[in-house]
Structure 1
Amino acid sequence: MAIMPRKEMLPGSHSEEALFTVKNLLAFPMLKDTRLLAGNQGLNRPITRVNVMEDPDVLSWVRPGEFLMTTGYPLWDEPERLRQIVPELVRRGVAALGIQGNGGNVPLPLDVVQEAEKQGLPLLELPADTVIADLVRSIMERVLAQETSQLADLQNRIQSMTRLLLDGSGLYTFLDAMEDMLDNPVAVVRESDKPWLSKSLRTAEPTEVWPLLQSLTYRQVGRGSISGFVHLQNAYRTYVNQIPMKELKQACLVLVERNREIQPIDALSVDRLSSLAGLELANLEAVREVEGKYLDQFLQDWLSGKIVSATDWRLRADVCGCTVTEGTPMCAILVGWRTFESAGKIREVARRLRSEKLRTVDGLMAAPVGDELALVLPIVPLLPAGSERDEASSQLIQKLLAELRMLLGERELNLYVGRIVERADGLPGSWAQAKRARQVAEVCKLPGEIVPYDRLGVYSLLYLIPSGEEREQFLTRFALPLQQADRKGGGRLMETLEMFFRCNGNIKLTSEKLFAHYNTIVYRLDKVQSILGVSLDDPEDRLQLHLALKLGQITPGTLGK
């Protein structure tokens, strides 16, 4: 994976002189004989605390920004152990490691020095006569003086960001202001959602930010931790803090170390501002819920034909934020699952489709209609009606199905598609066709993952045949006698005849499909011909029988009388 180069410090960045760094520490008179063994590139790391450790298990106690001191005696007998903890100290944000010398009797292992240099961790050999207590006191005096200034700075930051949200500027403005304040990009990463990004990530070239965006997922940065530094797969270091969210999806505020090194005051700012981000997320969720209900009702009324005038349509579309402009060719699609899905699941899927921008489709709208999921698909580019547009729309629907499966994690999805209409008032007809396509496809077992209404052929004509005396007579003549014979133990005649037609009149294949002996199938078909007085060798009789079966499947209630 490509690694994005870090940018130079932006104008207006915090002055490094205000920080107490490892370089400042080396200027202490008591450390004039200190040797810098490795990590010269890390001398500008800020020190925010100090710790003295003699426990071999130091990793359980270290904290970010810490100057860790030790005599090293517990580790001299385990040089490999000392080398192994160096990368972990860097990962945990330790500013520098100081090991008190022993008068040159036992030099520090070379591989430890090399590992510290590789990791950029300042490794200091403190003079053997260093009074640790005096050094700790001197460091803490500098740190406390610095913290007083930083706390004032932190307070100003919180106040300015609070005023920003009270003005109703929104989450993106909030993140952009944080980026200006911290000189690094900021993101809100939420479970099962795309991240909200600050301006430098939103406006950067896709080739530049793509590796970073691939890592800005909740799975990568959440990891169940409350807060702390996280190294992404693309070698970026981030500071992550969980956003307090009640009864909502988990989320976290992420500061990306892209322009300059993250300072302790920056991490503290992220910790404090996470609560404000949580309030804005809760507000967004509430707005989305209200808008979703309006949009659901708008689409339900639109698809059912309750919006009768163009003026009403334009007014309600504007209120609901409908992105499909009047005059755009569109079609209605019914999403079908192989297994039953609850109304709650369908509402959640519709809400998710509205919140996530699909790569293949612009302006897609989704809403639950009863126990079904309806989609309104704009057809772009705007091509004139004809074979070229039909081909483009077919390819668009294929891509939509593939993306829906990936997004929803559902492999068993089918799309039933109504005809493309040119005007908004034609959409109810397209929706009726989509529902008809599903009904016919299911009862007649039509193949294919995408079933357009225009592909129904003769089945759509059978569907349109109205109830009446002629249809009843036709079904009574060719279908009802077989059904009555089956009820009396006639030997699965309807099932056998239907499979016979599916197998294109192949008796051997019919017997295999029904797991019955060849002679049994022959006997049943002879009985069908005897009961109805027809010949299966006569094309006209076969057509009549086949149409009767399909008509009965489309209107099963009539056949059952």
Structure 2
Amino acid sequence: MKVGVQLKVTLNEILKLESFQEVKVAAGYNGLNNHIENVYVMEVPDISAYVDQGGLLFTTLYPIVDDASAMERFIPELKKLGLAGVAIKVGRYIQEIPSYMLEQADELSFPLLRLPSSSNFSFLSNDILTELLGKKTKELEFRESISSKLHTLLLSGADIKDLLSYVSVVTSMEIVIISEQLKFIESSRYGESVDFKIIDDSFYFKSIQSIDYSDAAPCIKFEGNTYLRKDVMIQPIDAGEKVLGYLILIKNEKKGKLEHLDIVIEQAIILLAFLLQNRQSLIQKERNYLDNFIRDIINENYKFQSELIEKAKVFKWNFHFPNTIILIEISNEFGDNKIANHYKAIDSGIIPEEIARSCEMPAENCKVALHDNRIICFISIALVNDLSSKLKKASEQIVQRLSSYGAVKISISNKIYSIEEIRTAYEDAVLVQNVYKEVYESQSFIEFYQNIGIFRLFHLIDDKEYLKKYVDEKLGQVIMSDEKNDMELIQTLKVLIRNNMNVKKSADELYIHYNSLRYRIGKLKELGIEIKDGNEMIEIAVACQLLSYLNAT
């Protein structure tokens, strides 16, 4: 349920009304802070269809007084229905409230009020409704006042920080906004930098809309202080079904809780959603400019390094040579939207964060964007020692942290020393992606172009028809058989080669019975593949690698 204001008062507040002076609390004292949202009078035996949660029920018990079973069930059923309490009038149909009802009410913390025989249900109900209406009027006036002040701020050009600062003053709370990916956006505190960290992100995985924690587990760290779950309120900022971020309010125990805090949060979220949508639109526009810039770089539309380096500064990008390119592709078995997952990965900030940490460089040396349905990352690597091991370490962390989106496939180019080498390095990284997707299939991987082995030799041969002819000579009959019978003989051959012709290990990897694999080996022999001929198998292994290369290019 979204934060909102409802028409309600507590039973404790009602008992202070003049008309309730002779009303006594017979049992259920622990529930006197229950909120009353409406009043009902019981005139039928089965009351459940006529009451709602939060109601206070007035009754003489007349409809059920002669039904012992109904009397026994009465209090538990009202509790189950979510009523705030019950007021029973004594004198006419019952002289006193049965002791079992009192015991039930105490056990369930369900308020049971005793009304004297002179009580008038209409007068009591009207007084409650009058109290409710008066409170509602005050709440509406407060909402109108807050809404007017917040809109005035917005129309005067206020940004997110200005809005948070105003709400902070009104609520006497420190306030932080984080993105949907739980990244810090802004706080109510002024200063060049803000120390903020989420310790427990479990609220992110909750399905409920609003969370007011009450336990003692650490939740966030803000400006050097650690706050427990009970110290914070967290509310999603949404627009329709889309969550734009989260509003975090740090409780101020010294000031106490603002009477109409829910109204302030409600109104602030409306305007914050508007500001966050504008912010996201601006981010998307900047992202489009960056994507176009990177496309121009790869397509060799910049002829001078100085021009490229200066243009990169517009995007707060410290571009220089030597450089390297990392390509990342995320896929999963469910076929979820790949582009959406790529944008989520980019927005999370994980990629530049891990690269900067592992390579001990400023995050500005790394720029991440989307290009040709893959994530592309340019890294300025001057003064980075032991580059391969550091990029490997960063990539391992990226794979681990992005694994919730699917298999993370990472390819890394050689060093780029000039503007003329960028396109070649990009194509090399693409080649690694395509080749190893054939090898690893649906698994994550991290592979360098420098380690691509024999595929680099294939890449240097311009005459692809010559390569295809070699594959056809060695594997043509097997390929034709697979196309006709779908026995996966090529895949079987690759697995056998990878496992040094170990039949048992290969059967396990293929998830087939040992005898099934023996049958396939017999078929391969019929098609001219002699797995016991070492020299022949060397050429067959090369042909299999060449087939993977041709499928990838």
- Which TM bucket (shorter chain)? 0.5 to 0.7
The equivalent residue for 1:32 is: 21
TM-score, structure 1 normalization: 0.65
Q: 2:148 aligns with which of 149, 159, 170?
A: 159
Q: Is the 8 A contact 2:39 2:56 kept in 1?
A: yes
Taking a change above 3 Å as real, the CA distance of residues 221 and 28 of structure 1, as seen in their structure-2 partners, is closer
The equivalent residue for 1:373 is: 374
Taking a change above 3 Å as real, the CA distance of residues 51 and 180 of structure 1, as seen in their structure-2 partners, is farther
Q: 2:207 aligns with which of 206, 219, 224?
A: 219
Q: Does 1:347 align with 2:339?
A: yes
Q: Distance in 1 between matches of 2:306 and 2:39?
A: 72
The equivalent residue for 2:385 is: 385
Task: Report the CA distance between 1:434 and its aligned residue.
Answer: 1.8
Q: Distance in 2 between matches of 1:199 and 1:488?
A: 65
The equivalent residue for 1:53 is: 41
Q: Is the 8 A contact 2:79 2:108 kept in 1?
A: yes
One-letter code of the match for 1:393?
Answer: L
Taking a change above 3 Å as real, the CA distance of residues 398 and 78 of structure 1, as seen in their structure-2 partners, is farther
Q: Distance in 2 between matches of 1:453 and 1:263?
A: 58
Task: Report the CA distance between 1:109 and its aligned residue.
Answer: 1.9
TM-score, structure 2 normalization: 0.66
The equivalent residue for 1:335 is: 329
Task: Report the CA distance between 1:347 and its aligned residue.
Answer: 3.2
Task: Report the CA distance between 1:545 and its aligned residue.
Answer: 6.4
Cα displacement string for residues 260-279 of structure 1 (whole angstroms, at most 9, x for unaligned residues): 89888544555556543443
Q: How many residues align?
A: 493
Q: Distance in 2 between matches of 1:264 and 1:139?
A: 20
Cα displacement string for residues 12-42 of structure 1 (whole angstroms, at most 9, x for unaligned residues): xxxxxxx976445333343323223456677
Q: Is the 8 A contact 1:243 1:252 kept in 2?
A: yes
Task: Report the CA distance between 1:290 and its aligned residue.
Answer: 1.8
Of residues 499-508 and 32-41 in structure 1, the stretch that sits farther from structure 2 once superposed is: 499-508
One-letter code of the match for 1:335?
Answer: E
Q: Does 1:249 align with 2:242?
A: yes
Taking a change above 3 Å as real, the CA distance of residues 435 and 29 of structure 1, as seen in their structure-2 partners, is closer
The equivalent residue for 1:295 is: 290
* Residue identity (%): 13
The equivalent residue for 2:3 is: none
Q: 2:453 aligns with which of 454, 458, 462?
A: 458
1:105-504 correspondence to structure 2 within 5 Å: 106-107=98-99, 109-115=101-107, 117=109, 123-171=112-160, 174=163, 177-178=166-167, 180-182=169-171, 194=182, 199=187, 206-207=198-199, 210=200, 213-215=201-203, 217=205, 219-221=207-209, 245=240, 249=242, 265-268=260-263, 275-307=270-302, 309=304, 311-313=306-308, 315-320=310-315, 331-335=325-329, 337=331, 345-358=337-350, 361=354, 366-370=368-372, 372-376=373-377, 384-386=384-386, 390-406=388-404, 408=405, 410=406, 412-419=407-414, 428=423, 430-442=425-437, 449-454=444-449, 456-467=451-462, 481-482=473-474, 501-502=497-498, 504=500
Q: Distance in 1 between matches of 2:266 and 2:64?
A: 35
Q: Is the 8 A contact 1:188 1:254 kept in 2?
A: yes
Task: Report the CA distance between 1:215 and its aligned residue.
Answer: 3.0
Task: Report the CA distance between 1:390 and its aligned residue.
Answer: 3.5
2:113 is paired with a residue of what secondary structure?
Answer: strand
Q: Is the 8 A contact 1:350 1:366 kept in 2?
A: no
Taking a change above 3 Å as real, the CA distance of residues 239 and 336 of structure 1, as seen in their structure-2 partners, is closer
The equivalent residue for 2:82 is: 89
The equivalent residue for 1:15 is: none
Q: Distance in 1 between matches of 2:237 and 2:305?
A: 47
- Structure 1 gaps, min length 5: 1-18, 223-229, 529-534
Task: Report the CA distance between 1:442 and its aligned residue.
Answer: 4.6
Q: Distance in 2 between matches of 1:351 and 1:376?
A: 13
Q: 1:521 aligns with which of 514, 518, 525?
A: 525
Q: Distance in 1 between matches of 2:305 and 2:434?
A: 30
CA RMSD of aligned residues (A): 5.5
Task: Report the CA distance between 1:52 and its aligned residue.
Answer: 2.5
Task: Report the CA distance between 1:435 and its aligned residue.
Answer: 0.9
Cα displacement string for residues 526-555 of structure 1 (whole angstroms, at most 9, x for unaligned residues): 7x9xxxxxx9555xx765665466456535
Task: Report the CA distance between 1:293 and its aligned residue.
Answer: 1.6
Taking a change above 3 Å as real, the CA distance of residues 331 and 233 of structure 1, as seen in their structure-2 partners, is farther
Q: Distance in 2 between matches of 1:217 and 1:518?
A: 53
Taking a change above 3 Å as real, the CA distance of residues 550 and 303 of structure 1, as seen in their structure-2 partners, is same
Of residues 155-164 and 544-553 in structure 1, the stretch that sits farther from structure 2 once superposed is: 544-553
Task: Report the CA distance between 1:219 and its aligned residue.
Answer: 1.9
2:397 is paired with a residue of what secondary structure?
Answer: helix
Taking a change above 3 Å as real, the CA distance of residues 84 and 502 of structure 1, as seen in their structure-2 partners, is same
Taking a change above 3 Å as real, the CA distance of residues 160 and 181 of structure 1, as seen in their structure-2 partners, is same
One-letter code of the match for 1:397?
Answer: S
Q: Is the 8 A contact 1:417 1:452 kept in 2?
A: yes
Q: Distance in 2 between matches of 1:298 and 1:435?
A: 19
Task: Report the CA distance between 1:127 and its aligned residue.
Answer: 2.8
Q: Is the 8 A contact 2:429 2:449 kept in 1?
A: no
One-letter code of the match for 1:215?
Answer: F
Task: Report the CA distance between 1:168 and its aligned residue.
Answer: 4.3
Q: Distance in 2 between matches of 1:431 and 1:444?
A: 20
Q: Distance in 2 between matches of 1:25 and 1:399?
A: 59
